[in-house]
Structure 1
Amino acid sequence: MTLIGREHQHHTLLSLLRHQRLVTVTGPGGVGKTALARAAALACDPDAHLLDLSGPATWPERTPPRLLLLDTCDHVVDRCAELAQRLLNRFPALRILVTGREVLGVPGEHVMIAGPLDGRHAAALFHERSGGLHADPGVLARLDGIPLAVEIAAEHLLDSAKLAELLDNGAFHTLAAGPGHPARHASMRAAAEWSHRLCRPPDVYAWSRLAAFETPFGLEEAGRALNGYRPAAVCEAIARLVERSILVVDSAAADAQWYRMPFHLRAFTK
């Protein structure tokens, strides 16, 4: 399946893979980390070995590949970090590509954030996956450019009015994704639940409070929502949620101090 709207990130990732031994692609659930990483890995090395860690995975009984993709490390971050360091030390020619909703945090790791699709590419993805339908740009924008959400809307052949209705009443979040999606992406709610299980109680609380913001917010607004938190604790809470891809830095903010929460993660707490 072709990548849509990922040309720049694809080239960036290829460049990183050619020059760095450990690269991690991170971002919110459903943003397309796996598709991007798999395409780049196979373009970089057709013999790359892909390990999907969301299910049973086995190490190939042969000489280690030149490029190894550890896909979906979210729930086994510490084990993946240890494995990556051990393999890189043991096999000097090996390169490792990782995907996850948070980084491994090991020396030498280079991180690339898989961001959402812009409006034009989200519309193109909807058009292709739906077999030629068009969606109102304003309604489609409510999906935050998350490819999984766009694909679910397209797979159900939702027109703009129906999509808006399902977003308004919350039913969109439980719509089943097509059979080609993994269990963690069975619906937008499933994607949110996967992230929720990976969070500690303090992060869950901060998530629930900050989900009230439907538009980008700054530290001052976050402080009011996290009533009782000291300023340093507010910064720490936001940093943890950014690390776990619950919050994303608003790229339109000039000072990079504004944050937003993807729509399906906001809806999960309601």
Structure 2
Amino acid sequence: MDHIAVLGPIEARVSGVRVAVVSPRQRALLARLTLARGRAVSVDTLVDDAWGTRARPRDSRAGLQVQMHRLRTLLGPLGELIATVSGGYRFDLPPELIDAEMFERQTLQGRELLRWNPQEALHRYDAALARWRGPAYAEFADTFAHAEAVRLQQLRGGVLEERIAALLAVGETTQAVADAEALISQDSLRERPYGYAMRALALEGRTSEALSLYQRLRKVLAEELGSEPSRTLEDLHLSLLRQESVAPAGPTAVAEPRLVGPAPHSSAVASFVGRQAELDELDRALARNGSVTLVGPPGVGKSRLAQELCARSSEVTLVRWVDFSSCDTGADVPQHFAASLGPCSPGPRGVTEAGLRAVNNPKTLLVLDNCEHVVDEVALLVARARRSCPQARVLVTSRERLAVEGEYVINVSPLPVQAGKGLAPAVRLFLDRIAAAGQPIDEQNLDVLRTVAVICGRLDGLPLALELAAGRVSTLGVSVSAGVADLLWLASGRRTDRSSHRSLRAAVSWSFDRLAADEQRLLRRLSVFAGWFSVTWASQVCADDTLPPGQIPALLASLVDKSLVSRRADPAPGMRGHSLLHTVQCYAEDQLEQAGEADVFRERHAQALEGWAVDLADLPVIALGAVKPVWQVAA
């Protein structure tokens, strides 16, 4: 049978015969397209994933076409399912042809059978687990497939636990003890295996061992988390002390698991520079409000700030981290939320309610990361958490605020590039990352430091851009790097993050691809402005038959909300209050070229400037002292 296997090294089979996809680039393309099954993947994303830090062909688009043609030929009938769409490719692969999808289906079947036919449930669980040949997405589990690989691994852990419940239900207590001990050895903080092992031991008449196992769990939780076992396990322990009979447990009869940080894609091993004011404000806001959203442009370091808060806060003893970057649509949010927290007993109100119960503790922090593309559904989730779990503390990272009652928004800005005394935070971070790459810079050389400051300014002080560019600079040298025209190329090349953070182009593309068509149209046209501009100028230059002037103010406000356009805090009426970060402008310029609109809107911008210059030349000499205010009003 034809299928794609991702539960281990990426593999394709046609008519039951394994297809040798040897090329690393073709393997990366196959993995990325399978990961995004049914959704278009942009050319930029595919090129970033396929070539990574390796040398790329001069014409990346043509090189990608060659690799895609070879992949389609290799895959035969499966290759015919790879469609060329506007701006990229889409793999129209039915779910039954992916082993990960079938693993999840068989898991659900086993879960449904467990209550009334545990023997058959055991067979379904075994069939699901047999599909695993190694870590999910194997060589791509630390890069663009990281989030999905983590999610699948969490699901596998849940299946292993539920399989023990099935063993108990069919009387295989000795095997249940052995399997539970194996899971405990892998993760000593997950309570569920302890509960199953205690029940199995009690059913075998080994009550003293079951009580000893409870004390072992209690010691681990106290040392690692400063907490006690859940109420469910406490009740089981009490029953054993009273020598009461213990029944085999189904999946709803044991404690909910504990999931402790670090967060996915953690960069906590690297130094953390600046942000003390933001950390202080974040700490106070969480204590006072209970729900805080970190908002900022792509690559500004929202997730990293959240990680640092988790590491430093003395008020947090348990972190539950949910990364929504792998969710395709808002409909995926409830199931992904529950899966990220580990196997939870659904309860009468579903998996979301079960997950929320697990965070209703003032010492527990729930972090919802990368929420911008599912903001509506996450807003509902947070609102529900605030109503039903008053003790819960929730930290959200998004490029757009949730707009829910009680939300405290912290705008995360780029790192300052200039400082009154000492090195600016952006420069300090850049120097640290260059040193980490093995090419430290003499910080006493003022000429070099000035050049570094120029590079940091061109990269807008964005931490992601600075960290990515540091690798290039360590190879090219400071002077050569300062002259590189392509900022998006300079800020690229890291392999160990999900695809949206492996290059600055990918980070901006992640946001751009999720804009409405009119928002994309306006953003790319705004790239003709090199500096600040007003709503009036944006309407004058960017409007046409496809984008009426009356729509510009609302679309511009939406782009501000989504952190793709910067806005002065309180611009005066008529003042030029908006601008694009240099990095966003570079990406938008590329999109303008690809849309074939560059010449038209650059000409319109030039005509607008010419009209402004004519108006300014007509001013009487006596008004020249007031040129700046007049300029602001005119713009």
Structures share a fold, TM > 0.5?
A: yes
Q: Which residue pairs with 2:287 in the alignment? A: 18
Q: How does 1:158-237 map to 2 (within 5 A)?
A: 158-166=476-484, 168-169=485-486, 172=489, 175-179=492-496, 181-228=497-544, 233-237=551-555
Aligned to 1:63: 358
Alignment of structure 1 residues 74-85 onto 2, 5 Å: 74-85=372-383
After TM superposition, the structure 1 = structure 2 runs for residues 19-38 of structure 1, keeping only pairs within 5 Å, are: 19-38=288-307
1:43-62 alignment, distance < 5 Å: 43-44=312-313, 45-55=316-326, 58-60=340-342, 61=344
The structure 1 residue matched to 2:399, chosen from 96, 101, 104, is 101
- 1:86 is displaced (CA, Å) by 1.5
Structure 1 residue 104 displacement after superposition: 1.3
Alpha-carbon offset, residue 173 of structure 1: 5.5
Residue aligning to 1:86: 384
| Aligned 1:113-132 pairs, distance under 5 A | 113-119=411-417, 120-131=424-435, 132=440
Listed one character per residue, the Cα deviations across residues 10-40 of structure 1 (whole Å, up to 9, x for unaligned) are 1111111110121110111100000112212
Structure 2, unmatched stretches of 5+, are 1-269, 327-335, 345-356, 418-423, 442-447, 591-635
Cα deviations by residue, 1:63-111 (Å, 9 ceiling, x for unpaired): 3253211011112112211111122211110011100111112121111
Note closer, same or farther for the CA distance 1:37–1:187 as it changes in structure 2 (3 Å cut).
same
Which structure features the higher share of helix residues?
Answer: 2
| RMSD, matched Cα | 2.3
Is 128-137 or 24-33 further displaced after alignment? 128-137
Structure-2 separation of matches of 1:73 and 1:186: 19
CA–CA distance in 2 between the matches of 1:250 and 1:244?
Answer: 15
Output the amino acid matched with 2:468. I
Over 3 Å counting, the alpha-carbon distance change for 1:183 and 1:115 in structure 2 is same
What's the CA shift for 1:114? 0.5
How far residue 3 of structure 1 moved from its aligned partner, in angstroms, is 2.2
Give the distance between the partners of 2:292 and 2:556, measured in 1 at CA.
24
Percent of pairs identical after alignment? 29
| Secondary structure of 1:130 counterpart | helix
Kindly tell me: are residues 151 and 250 of structure 1, through their superposed partners in 2, closer, same or farther at Cα, counting changes over 3 Å?
farther
Name the residue aligned to 2:119.
none
Segments of structure 1 that go 5 or more residues without pairing to the other structure are none
* Preserved contact between residue 70 and residue 97 of structure 1 (Cα < 8 Å): yes
Q: Is the 8 A contact 1:26 1:100 kept in 2?
A: yes
Q: State how far apart, in whole Å, the 2-side matches of 1:231 and 1:13 are.
A: 39
Structure 1, residues 108-160: CA drift from partner, whole Å, max 9, x if none?
11111100011111110011011033551223210011111111111221433
Equivalent residue letter for 2:389:
F
* Distance in 2 of aligned mates of 1:29 and 1:170: 15
SS across alignment from 1:54: helix
Give the alignment's TM-score, normalised by structure 2. Answer: 0.40
Shift of 1:207: 0.3
Counterpart contact for 1:249–1:257, Cα < 8 Å? no
2:318 alignment partner, SS class: coil
Q: Secondary structure at the match of 2:300?
A: coil
Name the structure, 1 or 2, with higher relative contact order (CA <8 Å, separation 6+).
Answer: 1
Provide, for residues 145-195 of structure 1, a one-character-per-residue CA deviation record: whole Å limited to 9, x for no partner. 1111111111221433322333x145625731252x332111011011101
State the alpha-carbon separation in 1 of the partners of residues 280 and 491 from structure 2. 34
* 1:259 matched to 2:572: no
> Does the 8 Å CA contact 1:129/1:151 hold for their aligned counterparts?
yes
Higher mean C-alpha deviation, range 224-233 or range 81-90: 224-233
Q: TM-score, normalised by structure 1?
A: 0.89
Q: Is 2:556 the partner of 1:238?
A: yes
- Following the alignment from structure 2 to structure 1, what is the Cα–Cα distance between the partners of residues 507 and 495? 14
